[in-house]
Structure 1
Amino acid sequence: MARGFGWLLDLGRNENKRAALLAIPIMDNLNGVIAEVLGDSAVKGLKQGKPFSLNSVVSVSLLTERKDIFRHQGPILVAYPNKKLLDKIDNIREVTDVLVIPWSFGEIQYWIDTWHARELGATENRQAEPAFSDPVVEEALKSLTSRVNLSTGIGHPMDRAAAVDLFRKLKAAKIAYDPSEVRGWLVRHGWESDDADAVKDIAEKISQGRSVRSEMGGWADDIVDLWRERASKS
């Protein structure tokens, strides 16, 4: 945990990264290790909703599952998260950096895979994010993202139908896909976490041959050919 706050101080060399969030599931997570690192006075202030100053450089405010923040321009240090907290953080816009300190890596592996996260101190990879396993599926997801209203995800029946029909067409064309990879791509490209979960659920059911009820999807009969053409040019 001390390394995590050291990470915030390192980022604080950039004046645009001096407003930080400490994200924990519940207030009780402040007790124990965090209190030992920050001290009782800082923890007491955080519990009262007051930010504390880290070495008079970085201002740190508290974020829990119960608090909604839609934008934050600065880094977030996440301690002992569950999926609900990580999803909340994924939905916050304009975040500059995220460091997650988990109870175990297994609990956050899906998040690591989503963001291609690396271990603190590892050599930074400045290459573009790894290519999607099948560029045709990626082109399909681009089409879906352009088509739906991202503020509501697939909440509208027509948007849900578009998602269902998309995966049906991929399956009919014998194009395999990984629902977890699909979810990760959607989160990285502006989808809310809950909406990405809903699309993943549809993708899994169709991949497994299970029935999914929906209205007519509205994709053209030759849409897979178009996705293949776009993929060949990307």
Structure 2
Amino acid sequence: MEAAIDWCLEHLGDGETLTVWTHLKSNLANNTALDQLVARYSNVQHVTRRGGVGLRRRGPVLMAWADMDDIADLLRFGSHHVTALAVLSWDDEAVRPWAAAAKPVVLGNPSSWTDLVVELDPVVVEALDDLTGFINHNNTISGGHEKEHVVSTLFALYDAGFQLAPKAMQGWVLAHGWAGDNPLQLATDAKDIGRGRRPRARQVLRADYIEQLRRQVEDRDPRP
């Protein structure tokens, strides 16, 4: 907690506001360090998820006891205001997939975070990178053309024998600009397809799409 507060204050620029995020208002009152931080400084504000997060002030954000869904919710409407982000987790596993992809600075004891590996095949990562550049991130992937492209991509990967790791995929896209409900929706679709379910979507990919991804991965591989 102390390290996160110090880190955020170090990243607080002139004219900026440090935002402290908690699930509930009572979470602040029950923590002396955070309560004093908000009370002591005029350029520190408190927001809650229950109150509806809409950041209107630019500056660093300290999220206390957040998970990946919380991070995505915060970034839905306020990503352009966030200059630095510190996340205190209530459960390391709840944010580990995001941390593995985002590679954040570890504050405090690093022993729990020494082996952060993205548990995704490079071809799956290449597909997610393609999706990231293709979809309109202002739209939901639960419907429309975005859904068709996402589900078609997941079907193509699954049918080609690639493992769909929902949490790892959720963490990767969250670390690469996805926000709101979309990271969780991607994980849900991946889980459903991995269980043999077939969400309805029109096929929008070329038949050789997986081979195209494999070539892209090979082109990026620096090994001789």
Same fold (TM over 0.5): yes
Residue type of the partner of 1:6? D
Q: 5 Å matches for 1:11-22? A: 11-12=11-12, 15=13, 18-22=16-20
**1:105 alignment partner in structure 2:** 92
Q: CA RMSD for the aligned pairs?
A: 3.0
Structure 1 alignment gaps of length 5 or more: 44-51, 124-128
C-alpha distance in structure 2 between counterparts of 1:34 and 1:8, whole Å: 17
SS at match of 1:150: coil
Alignment match of 2:162 (pick from 154, 175, 190): 175
Alignment match of 2:53 (pick from 51, 56, 68): 68
Is residue 24–residue 48 contact of structure 2 (8 Å, CA) maintained in 1?
Answer: yes
1:158/1:119 Cα in 2 relative to 1: closer, same or farther (>3 Å)? same
Residue type of the partner of 1:185? W
Q: 5 Å matches for 1:131-146? A: 133-146=120-133
1:70/1:191 Cα in 2 relative to 1: closer, same or farther (>3 Å)? farther
Q: CA deviation at 1:105?
A: 3.0
Which deviations, in whole Å up to 9, do the C-alpha atoms of 1:55-86 show, x marking residues without a partner?
xxxx2111111133256532111223355533
Q: 5 Å matches for 1:194-209? A: 194-209=181-196
Q: Which moved more, 1:23-32 or 1:175-184?
A: 175-184
Residue type of the partner of 2:132? T
C-alpha distance in structure 1 between counterparts of 2:123 and 2:67, whole Å: 33
Q: 5 Å matches for 1:23-38? A: 23-34=21-32, 38=36
Aligned length: 212
TM-score by length of 1: 0.75
Structure 2 alignment gaps of length 5 or more: 111-115
SS at match of 1:165: helix
Q: Which moved more, 1:70-79 or 1:218-227?
A: 70-79
1:36/1:71 Cα in 2 relative to 1: closer, same or farther (>3 Å)? closer
Q: CA deviation at 1:148?
A: 2.2
Residue type of the partner of 2:79? R
- Report sequence identity in percent: 23
Q: CA deviation at 1:30?
A: 1.9
C-alpha distance in structure 1 between counterparts of 2:153 and 2:34, whole Å: 51
Alignment match of 1:53 (pick from 27, 41, 61): 41
Is residue 164–residue 191 contact of structure 2 (8 Å, CA) maintained in 1?
Answer: no
Which deviations, in whole Å up to 9, do the C-alpha atoms of 1:143-171 show, x marking residues without a partner?
22333221113143332122222111112
TM-score by length of 2: 0.78
Dislocated runs of 4+, deviation >6 Å: 129-132
C-alpha distance in structure 2 between counterparts of 1:185 and 1:103, whole Å: 20
Is residue 171–residue 207 contact of structure 1 (8 Å, CA) maintained in 2?
Answer: yes
**2:64 alignment partner in structure 1:** 79
C-alpha distance in structure 2 between counterparts of 1:233 and 1:110, whole Å: 26
